[in-house]
Amino acid sequence: MHTDNEQSNSFTSPKYNENQWRTLPAKQQPKWKNQAQVNKVEDKIQRLPPLVFSGEIEALRDKIALAANGKAFLLQAGDCAEEFKNCTANEIKGTLKIILQMALIITYAGEKPVIKMGRIAGQYAKPRSSDFETINNQEFPSYRGDIINDIAATLEAREPDPQRMLDAYQYATATLNLLRAFSSGGFSSLSRIHLWNQEFLASSAQENQYKTMLEELSKALTFLDTIGISDKRERSLREIDFYTSHEALLLPYESALTRQDSVNHHWYNCSAHMLWIGERTRNLDGAHVAFMKSIRNPIGIKLSASASVDDTLALLEALNPDRETGRIVLIPRIGYDKVEAVLPSLIRAVAKEGYPVLWSCDPMHANTYVTKNGYKTRNFDYIAKELITSLHIHQAENSALGGLHCEMTGKNVTECVGGADSITEESLSAHYDTNCDPRLNARQSVELAFLLSQNLKAMKNS
């Protein structure tokens, strides 16, 4: 870790040892051949500028606190695994465009601001269920994401290469640079986003309700314009705050980008605004939890159906002992068929113990299956079911669903079955493009946001 100010060198964090993680077992790390090279790359990255600024992270904490109190909604979306070769203007624009469309739809129905966040500009490392995979009867080390190795099926390509951490830093920088330009340069203007929406769902079953929503939005914008509030004059109508996030998996990279603020002396992971701990690395005695304890960023915690109430409460105590609102986002990924059995007791226990959290929902990761043709896919109906069931469970428990976490792309891929396009298992091969998990395509993403918005509206009116 690195201090960005001479004066603060002598300051040590009052609570945590920021290098404690190095003394603990770390799951899901590559088996580097040459540790000296890894250290060298870490040193190099430590000297490079941070990607995000502590003030932005603090602002995000405040917004997440609002969402935890039911006054905002967190939309966190993007690739399962970003690929270096897809770091192009079109790809980034496509993803941002769909996230903004989804956000507008949810804002409109929920009557709350939506915090817009990508799984982007750093989502390069993947946890794997096995260290090895068999391709054409030959065993290879698993692909662990572009920040670690290459997906090509050769032993050379699969060798973990520390230089890739430096490449990841450069790709993340380029991605973030364009996102910042799009956020403030007119691209994200409200009147434009609203027009993009018309491209979607023209043939879907919800066509009429969708059109009605767009017409109402149009009227609202025209009214604002009439009284002199237009995006030409109002910054808030033409600029957005866009936040980045990824799984904090590859600890040397995360640590090298963790910096101490010279004014408030807190440590911030400046590789992204928000980081999350994955289902496979959230063990209390492991390096990942220790690392997360040392930083002040908002932290997401993935919770599968096997997360017990005790595990969850222990993680909350470890990561948020001062019970600060805005620090923790709980992200259950339980499965459409188990959510009713598992989620209520988690909600009750967290409320009873008084931990302030923002409850999100990842309806993707427990609804994955492999087709008989060998494609890893997810069914849109099950994704929608887990999301909407979670929404209603929260309502019944006197709690609130305050976030959606999903894997999507702005491209028209065929990776998840179902949705308005009725993608079938047989048509998955047409545009199956993911290196990792299947993503919602552009239309399926908008459709999911629309379904959520319809349910939010119905709940309001009930």
Residues that bind Co ion (CB under 5 A): 80, 437
- Alpha-carbon span 157 to 40, nearest angstrom: 21
Question: Cα 100 vs. chain centroid, distance in angstroms?
Answer: 14
**Interaction between residue 127 and ligand PEP (CB under 6 A):** yes
Instruction: Please write down the long-range contacts of 203-207, taking CB distance under 8 Å and 24 or more positions apart.
Output: 203/420, 204/420, 204/447, 205/420, 206/447, 206/450, 206/451, 206/454
Contact letters (x/-) for ligand PEP, 233-262, by CB under 6 A?
A: --------------x---------------
CB of 133 to Co ion, least distance (A): 16
C-alpha 84/C-alpha 146 separation (Å) is 7
Q: Which amino acid is at 406?
A: C
Please report whether residue 273 would count as binding ligand PEP according to CB under 6 A.
no
Binding marks (x or -) toward ligand PEP, 312..341, rule CB under 6 A?
Answer: ---------------------x--------
158 binds, among Co ion, ligand PEP, none (CB under 5 to 8 A by kind): none
Stretch that binds ligand PEP, among 28-36, 196-204, 275-283, 334-342 (CB under 6 A): 275-283
d(CA 320, CA 323) in angstroms, rounded, equals 5
Near ligand PEP by CB under 6 A: residue from 365, 394, 439, 443: 365
Q: Which does 44 bind (CB under 5 to 8 A by kind): Co ion, ligand PEP, none?
A: none
The torsion angle over the Cα atoms of residues 372, 375, 381 and 383, rounded to 10 degrees, is: 130
Nearest distance from C-beta of residue 329 to ligand PEP, angstroms = 13
Phi-psi region of 335 (alpha: psi -120 to 50; beta: other; left: phi over 0): left
Query: What is the CB neighbour count within 10 angstroms for residue 427?
Result: 13
**Residue 278 binds which entry of Co ion, ligand PEP, none, with Cβ cut-offs from 5 to 8 Å by kind?**
ligand PEP
Smallest separation, CB 53 to ligand PEP (Å):
25
Site string for ligand PEP, 62-101 (x = CB under 6 A): ------------------x---------------------
DSSP class of residue 49? P
Q: Which residue has its beta carbon closest to ligand PEP?
A: 278
Whichever of 201 and 401 has its CB closer to ligand PEP, that residue is: 401
Residue 102 contacts by C-beta under 8 Å, 6 or more apart in sequence?
Answer: 75, 77, 445, 446, 448, 449
3-class DSSP state of 46? helix
- Cβ contacts of residue 439 below 8 Å, gap of 6+? 79, 80, 407, 408, 409, 413, 415, 416
| Nearby residues of 376 by Cβ (< 8 Å), 6 or more positions away | 368, 369, 370, 437, 438
Closest distance to Co ion from the beta carbon of 379 (Å): 16
Which among 232-240, 273-281, 287-295, 346-354 is the span making contact with ligand PEP, rule CB under 6 A? 273-281
DSSP letter at 152 equals S
- Residues 399 and 347 sit within 8 Å (Cβ to Cβ): yes
Least distance (Å) from ligand PEP to the CB of residue 365? 4
**Least separation in angstroms between CB 130 and ligand PEP:** 14
Number of residues that bind ligand PEP (CB under 6 A): 9
Q: How far is the CB of 407 from Co ion (least distance, A)?
A: 5
Residue 144 or residue 238: which is nearer to ligand PEP going by CB?
A: 144
What does the binding site for ligand PEP look like in residue numbers (CB under 6 A)?
80, 127, 247, 278-280, 302, 333, 365
